[in-house]
Amino acid sequence: MHHYNSGDTAWVLASAALVLFMTPGLAIFYGGMVRRKNVLAMLMQNFVTMAIVGLLWVWFAYSLAFGPDWGGLGLLGTFHFAALSNMGQLVPGMAGETVPQVAFVVFQMMFAVITAALLTGSIADRARLGAFIVFIIAWSLVVYAPLAHWVFSPEGWLAKRGVEDFAGGTVVEINSGLSGVAIAIVIGRRRGWPRELMRPHNVPLSVLGAGILWFGWFGFNAGSALSAGRAGTAFVNTNTATAAALLAWIAVEKWRTGKPTTLGAASGAVAGAVAITPACGFVNTVGATVIGLLAGALCALAVSLKYRLGVDESLDVLAVHGVGGFVGMLSVGFFGTAAARGLNGLFYGGGAALLGHQALAVIVTVAWAFGATLLIGLAIRKFMGLRVSPEAEITGLDISLHEETAYDLEALSTGGFGHHVTDASGGGISIPARRKSTPKPDGPND
């Protein structure tokens, strides 16, 4: 019999619910950033991801990520926990567990869901739903599960080398950023990019989504402590870095263009939460603040990378999650401190050893995520195609794939408010209808 802590268990389950809520938040965040004709397709892809990964995780992927090591090389787990069998046992190599393994399964499931969902931002406006489903299945098993075993499982080879990644700077953030670039290269540019200006159609929607992500990130990071007692440090560091990054991003915008933007503030908050993810349990308040400032500034500058590279990585997953993950992982090597229950980094007398481990993890994650995702994408493109037809892309995915529209503007026009004209970008404008003049009544009976 294992003696579990009820408080820790309750905290992990509550954190799992918070992390699940992040995926609808991400859908709203991304949905506001795409053009009006594609918003429902973006929501659909995110919700379908929740279903696909939710099933895949309990049947196969969890066991591959956290099962007993296959061959003793630290590369992949076995099917020992497939279909949630043997749940009465402990996770191999994880000492001092105070929560039942099934609670740990649920918590880690939500990480797998949100990481896969992040990729929807890289291929926005042009992906076929069926091909996207096949891609997510293959990617979750081939890319995500092995990387999670390397870093998150105590038996993984990077974990054994001393890599410190508290909540997923490699497995979630860098992985999604580089995988997003790879699949964006395979699927190709949106029609008209970069000549046409493809503005977000609903910035308030994106700000709401960013707020939900900020809220959910407390479960994402503080829940990774797997203990109610240690969660406080990760919680406060998450908020500190997120706030600092928001201010740094809009400061860069003010410096570059003279005008800070609302969407920049939302993106800056997400960048800060991304960067503190691997470091939140290993740094103090000074480290969290510096990490947030660095992430906000560098991620804001990195948005232009896709134009220099010529890659239509639509919603800046690379700039926010990839670059933010780099900042967070490498910062642990500088700002990590034993006072926060981590190892001492370079600035706290620990030498360069930890920084070297962090750099190795970054390099390995970049190579694995980009290379494996590229191969998966090329295979799917060859055998079933990834992209909708040009006609469907011009019409918009909401109509062409789902026969739905997000906004019932025709009802407004028929009600006398005006008629809707769709512009070339699919955005649309509402033109007030002219009303016929009517004679003024002579009396109450007219």
Tell me what pLDDT residue 414 has.
62
Gap between the Cα atoms of 305 and 318, Å rounded: 9
Angle ∠(89,365,90) on CA atoms, nearest 5: 5
Q: Note the pLDDT of residue 339.
A: 81
Q: For the segment 210-263, what is each residue's pLDDT rounded down to a tens digit?
A: 999 999 999 999 999 999 878 999 999 999 999 999 999 999 999 999 999 999
Asked if the model's pLDDT at residue 177 lies above 90, the reply is yes
The better pLDDT of the pair 244, 197 is held by 244
For residue 153, give the DSSP letter.
S
Residue 52 neighbours by CB distance under 10 Å: 18
Task: Report pLDDT digits (tens) over 155-175.
Answer: 999 999 999 999 999 999 999
Q: What is the pTM of this model?
A: 0.91
Can you give the pLDDT at residue 426?
A: 44
pLDDT the model gives residue 412: 60
What is the predicted pLDDT for the residue at 342?
81
- pLDDT number for residue 439: 39
Residue identified by tokens 């040009």 is 390
Tens-place pLDDT, residues 179-193:
999 999 999 999 999
Distance CA 418, CA 302 (A): 41
Nearest to 426 by CA among 409, 443, 440: 409
Residue 417 has a pLDDT of 43
Q: Is the pLDDT of residue 399 over 80?
A: yes
Which phi and psi (to 5°) does residue 387 adopt? -110, 145
Q: What is the largest CA-CA distance in the chain?
A: 95
Q: Vertex 54, ends 50 and 57: CA angle to 5°?
A: 140
| CA gyration radius, the chain | 23
As a whole number, mean pLDDT of residues 84-102 equals 89
Residue 418 burial (CB count, 10 A): 16
Q: How far apart are CA 272 and CA 298, in angstroms?
A: 10
Q: Look at residue 182 in the predicted model and tell me its pLDDT.
A: 98
Is 161:360 a contact under the CB 8 Å cutoff?
yes
Gap between the Cα atoms of 136 and 335, Å rounded: 35
Average pLDDT over residues 285-308: 97
- pLDDT at residue 437, as a whole number: 39
Tell me the per-residue pLDDT of 408-417, one tens digit each, with 9 for 90 and over.
876 666 654 4
* Predicted confidence (pLDDT) at residue 110 exceeds the cutoff of 90: yes
Q: Is the pLDDT of residue 352 over 80?
A: yes
Amino acid at 24: P
Q: Mark residue 343 as left, alpha or beta (left: phi above 0; alpha: psi -120 to 50; beta: remaining).
A: beta
CB 221 within 8 A of CB 252: no
Task: Work out the average pLDDT over 26-32.
Answer: 98
- For residue 41, pLDDT over 50 is answered with yes
Asked if pLDDT for residue 443 goes beyond 50, the answer is: no
Q: What is the pLDDT of residue 415?
A: 57
Cα–Cα distance for residue pair 76/66, rounded to 1 Å: 8
Residue-level pLDDT at 436: 39
Give the model's confidence band at 419: pLDDT under 50 very low, under 70 low, under 90 confident, else very high: very low
Answer yes or no: are the C-beta atoms of 135 and 384 closer than 8 Å.
Answer: no
- The rounded distance, in Å, linking the Cα atoms of 205 and 189 is 25
User: Which residue in the block uniquely carries the two structure tokens 């090329």?
Assistant: 378
Question: Tell me, what's the pLDDT at 12?
Answer: 96
Report the percent of the chain where pLDDT is more than 90. Answer: 86
Q: Which residues contact 239 (CB under 8 A, 6 or more apart)?
A: 218
How sure is the predictor about 435, in pLDDT bands with cuts at 50, 70 and 90? very low
Q: What is the mean pLDDT of the chain?
A: 92
Q: Are 179 and 369 in contact (CB under 8 A)?
A: yes
Distance between CA atoms of residues 101 and 12, nearest Å: 11
Look at residue 341 in the predicted model and tell me its pLDDT: 77
Q: Which secondary-structure segment (H or E) carries 302?
A: helix 285-302
Dist CA 317 CA 328 (whole Å): 15
CATH (residue range 6-393): 1.10.3430.10
What are the start-end ranges of the H helices in 90-202? 101-118, 129-139, 145-151, 157-160, 175-187
pLDDT for position 427: 43
Q: What is the pLDDT of residue 408?
A: 83
Q: What percentage of the chain has pLDDT greater than the value 70?
A: 91
What residue spans define the domains of the chain? 6-393, 409-446
pLDDT of residue 233: 95
